[in-house]
Amino acid sequence: MAQADACCHTLRRGSSLSLDLTVEKGLSERPWLSHHYMRSSGIETPPSDTSTPLLDKNLNGLLESATTSTDDSLQAISPSDAPTVAVLGVGYVGSHLVSTFSSTYPVIGFDVSRTRINDLRTAQTQEVVEDLKNIEYTCDAAALRRATHFLISVPTLLRQDHTVDTSFLCKSLQTVEKHARPGATIVIESSIAVGMTRELLGPLAMQKGFFAGMSPERVDPGRTDPPVSSIPKIVSALEDLRPGSLDAIVRLYSSVFDTIVHVSSPEVAEMTKLYENCQRMICIAYANEMADACTAHRIDPYEVCRAAATKPFGYMNYTPGLGVGGHCIPVNPFYLLSNSSFPLLEEATRRMYERPRRIALQILEELRTKTSSSGLGQKKSRVLAAGMGFKKGQSTLSHSPGLELLKTLHSVGEVDVTWADSLVSQDAIRSVPRLHDGQWNSDHLATFDLILVTFLQPDMDEEVLRALPAHVEVRWLSMRPQVN
Spatial separation of the C-alpha atoms in residues 484 and 471, rounded to whole Å: 25
Compute the half-sphere exposure of residue 400: CA atoms within 13 Å on the CB side of its CA. 26
The DSSP element (H or E) to which 371 belongs, if any, is helix 343-374
Query: According to CATH, where is 3.40.50.720 located in the chain?
Result: 2-16+30-44+51-264, 293-476
For every one of its 484 residues, what pLDDT tens digit does the chain have, with 9 covering 90 and above?
Answer: 444 444 566 777 666 544 443 333 333 343 333 333 233 333 433 333 333 333 445 555 555 555 554 565 678 898 889 999 999 999 989 999 999 999 999 999 999 999 999 999 888 776 655 556 799 999 999 999 999 999 999 999 899 999 999 999 999 999 999 999 999 999 999 999 999 999 999 999 999 999 999 999 998 877 778 889 999 999 999 999 999 999 999 999 999 999 999 999 999 999 999 999 999 999 999 999 999 999 999 999 999 999 999 999 999 999 999 999 998 999 999 999 999 999 999 999 999 999 999 999 999 999 998 887 766 667 899 999 999 999 999 999 999 999 999 999 999 999 999 999 999 999 999 999 999 999 999 999 999 999 999 999 999 999 999 999 999 999 999 987 765 5
Whether 216 contacts 189, CB under 8 Å: yes
For the CA atoms of 319, 325, 331, 332, the dihedral, rounded to the nearest 10 degrees, stands at -40
Whether 121 contacts 135, CB under 8 Å: no
For 189-201, the DSSP string reads -S---TTHIIIII
Q: At what angle do helices 266-296 and 301-308 cross, to 10 degrees?
A: 130
Any idea what DSSP says for residue 230?
G
Spatial separation of the C-alpha atoms in residues 371 and 53, rounded to whole Å: 53
Spatial separation of the C-alpha atoms in residues 368 and 281, rounded to whole Å: 32
- The DSSP bridge partners found for residue 418 are 384
Domain 2-16+30-44+51-264 homologous superfamily, CATH:
NAD(P)-binding Rossmann-like Domain (3.40.50.720)
Backbone angles phi, psi at 33, to 5 degrees: -95, -10
CATH number given to 293-476: 3.40.50.720
- The DSSP bridge partners found for residue 158 are 164
Angle at 238 between CA 234 and CA 241, to 5 degrees: 170
Q: Model-level pTM?
A: 0.83
Query: What is the chain's length?
Result: 484
Q: Is the peptide bond before 155 cis (omega within 30 degrees of 0)?
A: no
Spatial separation of the C-alpha atoms in residues 212 and 177, rounded to whole Å: 12
Spatial separation of the C-alpha atoms in residues 142 and 130, rounded to whole Å: 26
The DSSP element (H or E) to which 340 belongs, if any, is none
Compute the half-sphere exposure of residue 459: CA atoms within 13 Å on the CB side of its CA. 9
Whether 322 contacts 402, CB under 8 Å: yes
